[in-house]
Amino acid sequence: MVDNAGAVRYANNAALQLLGIREIIKPANFFDLVSINNDDCNYTLEKFRASQRIDNLYAILCNHTGGEFDIDLTMLKVRNDKSQERLVFVLRDDSARRQENERLSWEASHDPLTQLFNRRAFGQGLDKALAEAGQNKVATVMLLIDLDYFKPVNDKGGHLTGDKLLHRLADLLRQTVHQSDTVARLGGDEFGILLPSCNMERAEALAERIRAGIEALIVEHEGEDYSVTASIGLAQINPTDTSTKAIMARADEGSYLAKGRGRNQVVVVLVSGA
C-alpha cells in the first residue's frame, strides 16, 4: 500500500522481496524502489493515480537492486478513516507462468529433434512472404532441401545415427544462412529455407554452399562412415503467386528434377517452368 506521494505504508514479505528491501524502516517511495514497464510504457505514480482500478496488468518490475520480475499487477484505490487516498498494489510474481507459456509457444513452432522451426512455423513465414511480395525491391526465395540416401543411413546405422546426422545438418544450415532467414525441418528428411530480400544469383550460390556442405558431412558409427547428399529446389516468390501451395510446388518440382538428373544438385524452377 502506498500513499498519494508514493510512500510505501505497508508491504508483506512477498512484496518486500519484489521491492528489494528487508523491511520498511521509514516510508520509502515505491517508485524510487521499482520501475514498472509494459510494452514500452513506463507506469509512473501519476499514471496509477489517474486510474481508479487496474486489473491483471502483465508487466516487468525492476527493483533498485537490479532484480527483474515478470509480474501480474492489480491496483485499486481505497480511503482510510481520514479520507486519505491510498493505492493498494497486489503484485504476483508471474515468471513461472510466462516461462511455461514461452516453452509451449516454442514447442508449437519448433522441431524437437533439430531445434529448427517446424512445418507450421515455416508455413506462417511463407504466408507472410507471399503477402509482402512486390512490396520489396528484391524478392524472397524459397529453398526446398530433400536429402538423398537418408533411408539407408537409418536402416543400416540405426535411427540414432540418422538423428545425429540431422543434428549436424541443422547446425550447418544455421551457420550458413543469415539471422533474418527462416530455416525449418518440414518433416523427415526434408528442410525448407526462406531467404528474404535475396536475388536468385545469391540464392543459387547459397544453395550450392549448402549442397557442398551436406555432401561433406560424415557421421561415424561402429567403425563405419555414413553420409548423404541433397537435391535442392529453388523458387522465387512473385507478386503474381496466388497461393503458398504453388510456391511449395515449384520448389518441390526443383528438388524432384534434381533427383531425376542424378541427385546432389541445385535446380531453379521459374513460374513458367524449369
Of the chain, the percentage scoring pLDDT greater than 90 comes to 80
Of the chain, the percentage scoring pLDDT greater than 70 comes to 98
The DSSP line for 204-218 is HHHHHHHHHHHHH--
pLDDT digits (tens, 9 = 90+) for 183-234: 999 999 999 999 999 999 999 999 999 999 999 999 999 999 999 999 999 9
What type of residue sits at position 128?
A: K
What confidence score (pLDDT) does residue 271 get?
Answer: 80
pLDDT digits (tens, 9 = 90+) for 74-104: 999 988 766 688 999 999 988 888 889 889 9
User: Annotated catalytic residue: which of 148, 189, 241, 252?
Assistant: 189
What confidence score (pLDDT) does residue 111 get?
Answer: 97
124-147: average pLDDT: 94
**189 is an active site residue:** yes
pLDDT digits (tens, 9 = 90+) for 255-264: 999 999 999 9
More confident residue, 25 or 223: 223
Annotate 100-133 with b (16+ C-beta within 10 A) or e (fewer): eeeeeeeeeebbeebebbbeebbbebbeebbeeb
Walk me through the domains of the chain, giving residue ranges and CATH numbers: 2-99 (3.30.450.20), 110-268 (3.30.70.270)
The DSSP line for 49-79 is HT-SEEEEEEEEEEETTS-EEEEEEEEEEEE
Helix (H) and strand (E) counts in the chain: 9, 13
